[in-house]
Amino acid sequence: MNKPATGSATPPPSRNIKAIVHQNLARRRAAERRFRGYGLVAITLGLAFVVLMFGNIISKGLPAFWQTYIQVPITFDSTVLDPQGARDPQALANADYATLVRAGMRQLFPHVEGRLPLRALGGLISSDAAYELQRRIQDQPELLGSTQEVWLLASAAVDTFFKGNIDRTLPEAERPIKDNQIEWLDKLKTSGKIEKQFNAVLFQSGDSREPEQAGIRGALMGSFFTLLVTFLLSFPIGVATAVYLEEFAPKNRWTDIIEVNINNLAAVPSIVFGLLGLAVFINFFGLPRSAPLVGGLVLSLMTLPVIIIAGRAALTSVPPSIREAALGMGASKLQMVGHHVLPLAMPGMLTGSIIGMARALGESAPLLMIGMVAFIVDVPKNFLDPATVLPVQIYLWSDLPERAFVERTSAAIMVLLAFMILMNGLAILLRKRFERRW
Amino acid sequence: MSTTVLETQTALDQALQASTAPRHKSSVEVTDYNNRQTVGKITVDNPKMVCRDVDVFYGAKQAIKKVGLDIGANEVIAFIGPSGCGKSTFLRCLNRMNDTIASCRVTGQIMLDNEDIYAKEIDVVQLRARVGMVFQKPNPFPKSIYENIAYGPRIHGMVNTKAELDELVHDSLERAGLIKEVEKRMQEPGTSLSGGQQQRLCIARAIAVNPEVILMDEPCSALDPIATAKIEELIDELRENYTIVIVTHSMQQAARVSQRTAYFHLGDLIEIGDTDQIFTNPRHKLTEDYITGRFG
């Protein structure tokens, strides 16, 4: 580098040090830039995948929120519905409404003849249309004898066709909509008798084999009851456990073992809890299969360790000076905890609990083991009705081949994600709110 | 102190070994404990608390060695000594705050009005209502100023009506000399006050339950000189009604506020006596070294 030093006692020339430092500086800066670059790439990649996932789910699921309806002139013929003329509600409920739908369709296309073409014509309308007419008569019996323009639910094939998911250039045998049906539908379209309406069915009914009649209300109510049981059990027990272990229990080998076990339980695969629930709650205690009560019990087992760990962390973060102040005033231990420590630890505990609950909401594996995977059409009304939950409903629908179920699967995922975001938002809100008090 | 801790420690040990006997042996009362003596008169005429042979262990480590002293009624007694000498530990024995530390074990006898406070039938809750405490760092509850004061009387069921409680809160704040500053902001959080005000709030909180003894663990160490002066003034006023035990690092403070002073050293009670005498005429070499600033 520079000239060799003249004597051992002379300090190294300062210019030399500067140069060395300068040389290193460039290397250090480069390392920093590189590291920042890696971070940027990682974050961009991560965000890209998130956008891809959400984009995929939303683009697939969004159409499911709209459903095709066909306007049909329906004559509520009293000779069909009420041949005796007695206006007996029971007889009216059991009358043949499907005939009215067929008659209405024939009125739209009077030239269609023959058994098969007529069947194809009737196939444009969902089988739910008859029930829709029955409901109308039940609500307004005075409609009897009149003729009304009624928007009826189209069949899933028609809906899929209008959402552009059936290629009309395909050979007739390969598509669910036939040539004559396409012809009728085009006519209906040009005369403005086809409309997309908000898909209320999706939120109002339970599962169904017919995609256009399938909804997530059953799964939503199942999830609601299950989570209610989970929360009612795991929150009080979890908080009490955390308080006892942190504040009251002596620190000895037994409490150490308990602590290790709780930490391990939090890491146990969830399906194991399902097996435990099957063995204990259903086989031993004889609780009903597929019931939200059992689902809630199983998910409580899974959520408890999470709440206990979060609760203990929240309790330890309360400054010891507050405890000393309370004890110094002559508060008993329970008063110290109840009046001072627990209120201060609450935000942390609530955050942990809500995150645990959000995990429970998204859990499907343990519920498969206790029979909450059944095909259940009725919307559950209490804790013992057979039910399924949102993630299991998604799993069930994702297995079905119909195009209409594919979009419903994505729609159900969107609803589930919305609830997750809602719960996490609530956790943040609660934390902020409690923390802002002082 | 910071740079030469080790040297000082060695010097201390040597001094301790060298000073087997006090210098003014003939005129001084001395209590003998094996190899170590407490210089000065440990008893008083009208004791509020009487401590004898108090040992404190943290696990295997002994923090307090056979300490005995009386705390007189309506006096301010100061505990001084270098860091880690056990003065805070001993103070916390007086209202059993050490109970909260699992590894801590206390033996010996501590009497409050001739009752052993470590006896089985004594409830710590009741004891702490009689022996209040003010801590080193101001630690008001994260509640309103009013609630801070009202908490003690409420949990002990000392008042029946809201009006009584209001009066008690007002009275306590008045006695702590804080009322003028907080009268208009009773519902504001206690933590919004300044450090000195917070500490006076803690004193007001302690006297709200009308204790007989108030323990103060370095109450001014986190405060500026003006706030310190206010607290010292307050201590002087409180002496009329309460017995006060104060641990302090400031020898000037001990000299200003206390009537008697006890000097602790490495878990031993080295010397005890009237404050004037301790500071003007210390009888033990270690005490003299400490108060003349040779270490500490």
Cα dist from A338 to A91, A363, A421, B97, B275, whole Å = 63, 33, 31, 19, 43
Residue with tokens 């066909």: A70
List all residues of chain B from 138 to 157 with a beta carbon under 8 Å from chain A.
Answer: 139-143, 151-152, 155-156
Taking CA–CA distances from B205, the nearest residue in chain A reads A329
Residues A364 and A262 in one domain: yes
Asked if B155 lies within 8 A of A251 by C-beta distance, the reply is no
| pLDDT value at residue B213 | 93
Q: Do B135 and A340 touch (CB under 8 A)?
A: no
Using CB atoms, which residue from A322, A339, A344 is nearest to B139? A322
Residues A398 and A284 in one domain: yes
User: A347 vs chain B: nearest CA distance in angstroms?
Assistant: 14
For residue B205, list chain A residues with Cβ-Cβ distance below 8 A: 325, 329
pLDDT at position B20 is: 43
Shortest distance, CA A29 to any CA of chain B (angstroms): 38
In total, how many domains does chain A have? 2
In angstroms, the CA A275 to CA A295 distance is: 12
Ramachandran category for residue A136: left, alpha or beta (phi over 0 → left; psi -120 to 50 → alpha): alpha
Chain B residues in contact with A323 (beta carbon < 8 A): 100
* Model pLDDT, residue B2: 42
Inspect the interface and report whether the beta carbons of B135 and A251 lie closer than 8 Å: no
pLDDT band at B35 (very low <50, low <70, confident <90, very high): low
C-alpha–C-alpha distance, residues A108 and A191, integer Å? 11
| B216 pLDDT higher than 90 | yes
Q: In what order do the strands lie in the sheet with A194-198?
A: A147-153, A66-75, A194-198
Q: Indicate whether A221 and A127 sit together in one domain.
A: no
Q: Which residues on B lie below 8 Å from A327 (Cβ)?
A: 97, 100, 128
Q: Domain ranges in chain B?
A: 23-140+211-291
Q: Which of A335, A343, A307 is nearest to A232 (CA)?
A: A307
Residues A217, A379 contacting (CB under 8 angstroms)? yes
Residue A408, pLDDT score: 93
At A339 the three-state DSSP class reads helix
pLDDT score, position B24: 46
- For B182, residues 6+ apart whose C-beta sits below 8 A from its C-beta are B145, B173, B188, B193, B197, B201
Q: Do B137 and A321 touch (CB under 8 A)?
A: yes
Q: Does B137 touch chain A (CB under 8 A)?
A: yes
**Phi/psi of residue B177, nearest 5 degrees:** 65, 30
The percentage of residues in chain B with a pLDDT greater than 70, rounded to a whole number, is: 87
Do B260 and B69 meet the contact criterion of CB atoms below 8 Å apart? Answer: no
A156/A287 same-domain check: no
Average pLDDT estimate for B235-246: 91
Residues A260 and A405 in one domain: yes
Name which residue leads in pLDDT, B224 or A231: A231
Residues B32-39, mean pLDDT to the nearest whole number: 65
Q: What is the pLDDT of residue B275?
A: 92
Residue A43 within any structural domain of the chain: no
Rounded to whole angstroms, how far apart are CA atoms B199 and A136? 75
Q: Which chain A residues have a beta carbon less than 8 Å from that of B142?
A: 322, 344, 437-438
> What DSSP state is assigned to residue B271?
E
Q: Among A199, A228, A250, identify where a domain stops.
A: A199
Q: Could you tell me if A403 and A328 lie in one domain?
A: yes
Q: In terms of pLDDT, which residue wins out, B279 or A89?
A: B279
Q: How many angstroms separate the CA atoms of B296 and B83, rounded?
A: 7
pLDDT at A9: 59
Chain A interface, best mutation among B98, B103, B125, by max A CB count within 10 A: B125
Q: Please, which pLDDT band fits residue B6 given cuts at 50, 70 and 90?
A: very low
> Do A320 and A420 lie in a common domain?
yes
Asked if B202 is an interface residue toward chain A (Cβ–Cβ < 8 A), one would say: yes
Helical axes B162-175 vs B145-155, angle rounded to 10° = 110
Of A250, A325, A330, the CB nearest to B156: A330
A254-272 in b/e form (b: 16+ CB < 10 A) is: eeeeebeebeebbeeebee
CA distance A369 to chain B (A): 45
The residue of chain A nearest to residue B128, with distances taken between CA atoms, is A330
Inform me whether the pLDDT recorded for B168 exceeds 50.
Answer: yes
CB burial readout A14-52, b (16+ within 10 A) else e: eeeeeeeeeeeeeeeeeeeeeeeeeeeeeeeeeeeeeee
> What is residue B22's predicted lDDT score, i.e. its pLDDT?
45
Query: Is A204 inside any structural domain?
Result: no
pLDDT, tens digit (0-9, with 9 covering 90-100), for B89-137: 999 999 999 888 888 889 999 999 988 999 888 888 889 999 999 999 9
Asked, for residue A44, whether it belongs to a domain, the answer is: no
Residue A389, domain extent: 217-436
Q: Is residue A244 part of a domain?
A: yes
State which CATH number among 3.40.50.300, 2.60.120.920, 3.30.365.10, 2.60.40.1120 fits the domain covering B23-140+211-291: 3.40.50.300
Token digits of residue B88: 């805070």
Say what the pLDDT of residue A240 is. Answer: 95
Is the same domain home to A379 and A344? yes
CA-nearest of A302, A420, A305 to A370 is A302
Chain A nearest-CA residue for B155 = A331
Amino acid B34: pLDDT: 52
- Cβ atoms A69, A151 nearer than 8 A: yes
Contact A330 B189 (CB under 8 A): no
Q: Which of A329, A339, A340 to mutate to test the interface with B (most CBs of B within 10 A)?
A: A329
Q: Is the pLDDT of residue B3 over 60?
A: no
The verdict on a CB contact (< 8 Å) between A321 and B189 is no
Reduced to 3 states (helix: H, G, I; strand: E, B; else coil), residue A135 is helix
Query: Quick one: pLDDT at residue B293?
Result: 79
Within an 8 Å CB–CB cutoff, is residue A79 touching chain B?
A: no
Residue B165 is predicted with a pLDDT of: 93
In which band, very low, low, confident or very high, does the pLDDT at B1 lie, cut at 50, 70 and 90?
A: very low
Place of tokens 């069909």: A80
Cβ-based neighbours of B119, under 8 Å, separated by 6 or more: none
Using alpha carbons, select from A362, A385, A219 the residue that is nearest to residue A303: A362
> With a cut of 50, which residues of chain A have pLDDT below it?
1-3, 5, 438
* Residue A249, min C-alpha distance to chain B (Å): 11
Query: Does any domain span residue A24?
Result: no
Query: Helix A403-436 crosses helix A14-61 at what angle (to 10 degrees)?
Result: 130
CATH of the domain at A229: 1.10.3720.10
The complex scores an ipTM of 0.81
Look at A328 and B132 and tell me if their CB atoms are within 8 Å. Answer: yes
- Using a CB-CB distance cutoff of 8 angstroms, which residues of chain A are in contact with residue B133? 324, 328
In a domain, A45, yes or no: no
**Cβ proximity of B51 and B108 under 8 Å:** yes
pLDDT bucket at B8, cuts 50 / 70 / 90: very low
Report the pLDDT value the prediction gives residue A31, as an integer from 0 to 100: 93
> Has residue A3 been placed in a domain?
no
Query: What's the pLDDT score for residue A437?
Result: 52
Same domain for A295 and A168: no
In this complex, do B128 and A250 lie within 8 Å of one another by their Cβ atoms?
no
Query: Does the residue A52 lie in any domain?
Result: no
Distance of CA A79 to the CA centre of its chain: 47
First vs last Cα of chain B: how many Å apart?
6
Residues A414 and A283 reside in one and the same domain: yes
The pLDDT of residue B285:
86
